[in-house]
A and B are shown apart, each in its own frame.
Chain A
Amino acid sequence: SQKIEQNSEALNIQEGKTATLTCNYTNYSPAYLQWYRQDPGRGPVFLLLIRENEKEKRKERLKVTFDTTLKQSLFHITASQPADSATYLCALGSNDYKLSFGAGTTVTVRA
């Protein structure tokens, strides 16, 4: 069966440093991969989408890589700020417009 694994532990980093989150998957051939941000008590918010034929995507301080051979995506937050503290969800999608989500990684940025 499909399995999506994100960093199992929470990530605590100093302001200004780069946070790197991983998303690994098995038994899946996604057409694209997405990252969402979720704040406590709120619904997830879409951040970035990367397709299977793309290696890297950037949006402001965010960078996502996608390696379909390793079955892995890396999500980087550069020059991190306390406002970046949240849980980040990885989601895999195929052409039926359904998503499969990982459990998420909680990031805390210390001032």
Chain B
Amino acid sequence: NAGVTQTPKFRVLKTGQSMTLLCAQDMNHEYMYWYRQDPGMGLRLIHYSVGEGTTAKGEVPDGYNVSRLKKQNFLLGLESAAPSQTSVYFCASGLKNTQYFGPGTRLTVL
């Protein structure tokens, strides 16, 4: 059981570039989440999904898009990266109340 995995672990982008972060879980969880974590701030929810084919906006969705074509995968896209999107991104999955987190992706936008 790998749990929740994230790809890539690190990435540096230039302003305006695009990229996709991949999250995969092997626990058959219905719910999946994307968060960003910035110094001095709590984890903030970007988008989430309550099942395959469904997505919804979280607290800070602007500048991001997501897709959940398969139950085990949740993709986070940045269409045109901005320096304000420099952060550590965490994916999580869960059944109901408890969430299981991936190791994170450290993204720097120059």
- Interface residues, chain A, with chain B CB atoms under 8 Å away: 4, 32, 34, 41-46, 49, 89, 91, 93, 97-104
Q: Complex Cα distance A30/B42, Å?
A: 17
Tell me the number of A-to-B contacts counted with CB atoms below 8 Å: 53
How many residues belonging to B are interface residues under a CB distance threshold of 8 Å?
26
Q: Check if A103 sits within 8 Å of B31, measured CB to CB.
A: no
Is the contact region of chain A dominated by helix, strand, or loop, or is it mixed? strand
Residues of A within 8 A of B97 (CB): 32, 34, 49, 93, 97
Residues of A within 8 A of B90 (CB): 43-44
Q: Check if A44 sits within 8 Å of B42, measured CB to CB.
A: no
- Contact (A43, B104) CB under 8 Å given A89-B42, A103-B42: yes
**Chain A interface: which of B11-19, B43-51, B66-74?**
B43-51
Please give me the 6 A-B residue pairs with the lowest Cβ-Cβ distance, nearest first.
Answer: A43-B101, A101-B42, A101-B43, A103-B42, A44-B101, A46-B98
Residues of A within 8 A of B4 (CB): 43
Q: Check if A98 sits within 8 Å of B58, measured CB to CB.
A: yes
| Residue among B41, B44, B101 facing the most chain A CB atoms (10 A cut-off) | B101
